[in-house]
Copies of this chain bind each other. A is one copy, B any other.
Amino acid sequence: MPVAELLPVTDVSAAACCSPLAKETITATDAEAVARTFKALGDPTRVRILSIVASHADQEACVCDLQEPLELSQPTVSHHLKILMDAGFLTRSKRGTWAYYALVPGSLDSVAGVLATV
């Protein structure tokens, strides 16, 4: 960010199309973080997973709850669950042989807040 001030942006001739900025733009680093969040939501299977989990009683479901309605192989379901976990939308709690994935409270709502930074 300090680099910006070093540039002599006092160009008078290029006034043709380029208009000045009214406020700061997002940094490239922050943009990557925002994109990572949305990329996790950018797959129909993962959207359905979140919907199924959210539709369960305690907003919690195990892998076997998901495999059948999604009609996907078990490793594929686990793969998507990991992505949703890494993105902060789900948590995993293992009870016995089963792994229960639960919605992180407020994680979906906070997506709206992420957009405010753009």
Contacts and interface: CB of A to CB of B under 8 A. Distances in A.
Interface in A80-110: 98, 108-109
A54 interface: yes
Q: How many copies does the complex hold?
A: 2
Interface residues of A, number: 49
Interface string A18-48: 1111111110100110111011111111111
A47 B118 contact: yes
A38 to B, nearest CB: 4
Given A28-B48, A39-B42, A43-B35, A22 B111 contact: no
Q: Give me the 6 closest cross-chain CB pairs, A-B, nearest first.
A: A39-B42, A112-B112, A38-B41, A26-B51, A42-B42, A35-B44
